[in-house]
Amino acid sequence: MIGIVNYGAGNIFSLTSALSRLGLSYGMINTESDFHQYSHIIIPGVGHAGAAMEKLNHTGLVESIRNLKKPVLGICVGMQLLTSHSEEGDAQLMNIFPLETKLFDRDLGIKIPHMGWNNIETKNNLLFEGIENQTQFYFVHSYFIEYNAIFEIATANYGLQYSAAIQKDNFYGVQFHPEKSGAAGEQLLLNFFKIKQ
Amino acid sequence: MESQSNDIFIRMLSKRIIPCLDVKDGRTVKGVNFVDLKDAGDPVELAWQYAQQGADELVFLDITATHERRKTMIEMVKSVARQLNIPFTIGGGITEIADAEALLNAGADKISINSAAVKNPQLIADLAKVFGVQFVVVAVDTKLIAGRNMVHLNGGRLTTEIETEHWIKQAEELGAGEILLTSMDHDGTKQGFDCKLLDRITKMINIPVIASGGAGKVEHFTEVFTTTGVDAALAASVFHFGEIPIPYLKNELKKHNIPVRL
């Protein structure tokens, strides 16, 4: 069963709806003692990374998350929270990935937010099994995770190359929204659930 | 050379095709003419059909005018969010933070505000602050009055003293995440989008723009994507009546090297 970290950062109705459609059961993680009930953990998130981190800190769940050995998937801002720092609100984050979350640079001639369907270059990874390389996913964000060859499992190009998905041990993060990315996004959620501890 | 390589990167973001559905009392209105629809008035079934056809996003415009509007709308948004695996925007009658919050919690990805923002521009900033700019679409209805593009309200019936370009610039500064620009002069004519205005607007601002009003044939979509910097094109009747099937449209756009999601 999938546990969703419930820290109040944005709407999760679309995510839970997607899980229901896929027949994946889920529950909410509100306190540390909830973790043991779940085999897979999702950290959702939309909005302001600094504000989201403040809320997450408030739950007291950060150390438990950092110590998890179960598969963890951060989505959008939930992925950014796994990095060390965000320029959004100059926020110190969970530092599971020693990476920086940065604001897109207008001088690259791009519109901000990056909004819409963008193709990604995927590496051979369980998360993307059965998903063709260069498939398009739905993105909505103004901040991005700097490209890093060690952790990246998918890259996107928007003015520059950046990490669309990252992995470190049992921790996964995707910048796009699988719950809004059509059939490919649903496949990704199913793949995540298949990842063994 | 540098601008060329940047261009290639930017072009990896697909141009979006967005069907717009009018909703009244939780039911879609305007004749919709899909052959395989069991219930053409059911927004959920219609939305699902569009997603299957390859629509990139949907816009629901609520034209309900009763006291029950908010409740019925929230119920509809929830039903749509349960079934739909692509993003959707809700517009119509949103005047305060509480409206937006209820829609967000029901699963809407974005909200679109129009008259309420013109009457109270601070609403844009407030919504952006609470929910993030990505949640806030500012819809602008424009019409030429004595050679100037002026903002119109109430579906084009009410002329304001505000110049369209000025208002859009202000909306961007206040925190709009996207502009949905409808040309009332072109809307319903099926003679093509207002490419001249859209070109000026997209050069002037740095947030995504959705073109609306005037789509009649495939060439109009090709034209708006090749001659202006818009990110998306919205239409209603050409999709509802099956005049332009979305898979066909996208294939045609692709032939013109316009990046689309197939």
Please state the ipTM of this predicted complex.
0.92
**Chain B contact present for A140, CB below 8 A:** yes
Which residues of B have a catalytic role annotated?
Answer: 22, 141
> Which amino acid would we find at residue B12?
M
Tell me chain B's radius of gyration from C-alpha atoms: 18
Q: A188-193 contacts: CB < 8 A, separation 24 or more? A: A188/A127, A188/A128, A188/A131, A189/A18, A189/A19, A189/A22, A189/A24, A190/A22, A190/A24, A191/A126, A191/A127, A191/A128, A191/A129, A191/A130, A191/A131, A192/A40, A192/A42, A192/A71, A192/A73, A192/A127, A193/A2, A193/A24, A193/A40
- Which secondary-structure segment (H or E) carries A72? strand A72-75
Answer for the pair B155, B112: CB distance below 8 angstroms, yes or no.
no
Provide the percentage of residues in chain A whose pLDDT is more than 70.
100
CA distance B204 to A135: 31
Q: Do A142 and B107 touch (CB under 8 A)?
A: no
Q: In which residue are the tokens 């109430």 written?
A: B154
pLDDT score recorded for residue A45: 86
Q: Catalogue the E-assigned strands of chain B.
A: 16-24, 27-28, 58-62, 88-91, 110-113, 136-145, 148-153, 158-163, 178-183, 209-212, 232-235
Tens of pLDDT along B168-210? 999 999 999 999 999 999 998 999 999 999 999 999 999 999 9
Answer for the pair B149, B163: CB distance below 8 angstroms, yes or no.
yes
Q: Do B85 and A18 touch (CB under 8 A)?
A: yes
- Which secondary-structure segment (H or E) carries B4? helix B2-10
B245's CB contacts (< 8 A; 6+ apart) are: B53
CA distance A157 to A75: 18
The C-alpha of A113 sits at a distance from chain B's nearest C-alpha, in angstroms, of 7
Confidence band, pLDDT 50/70/90 cuts, at residue B156: confident
pLDDT score recorded for residue B30: 64
Q: Which of residues 5-44 of B touch A (CB under 8 A)?
A: 6, 9-10, 12-14, 16
CA distance B152 to B254: 35
Q: Is the peptide bond before A113 cis (omega within 30 degrees of 0)?
A: yes
Q: In which residue are the tokens 């950062």 written?
A: A9
Q: Mean per-residue pLDDT for A101-112?
A: 92
**Identity of the residue in A111, A117, A138 whose CB atom sits nearest the CB atom of B206:** A111
Q: Mean per-residue pLDDT for B55-82?
A: 88
> Which amino acid would we find at residue B132?
G
pLDDT at B245 exceeding the cut of 50? yes
Which residue of chain B is at minimal alpha-carbon distance from A187? B85
| Catalytic site includes residue A54 | no
**Chain B contact present for A138, CB below 8 A:** yes
pLDDT score recorded for residue B69: 78
Antiparallel, parallel or unpaired: β B16-24 and B58-62: parallel
pLDDT score recorded for residue B2: 41
**In this structure, what token pair is assigned to residue B136?**
């806030």
Q: In which residue are the tokens 């099994």 written?
A: A129
Answer for the pair B1, B246: CB distance below 8 angstroms, yes or no.
no
CA distance B184 to A90: 43
Antiparallel, parallel or unpaired: β A121-122 and A152-157: antiparallel
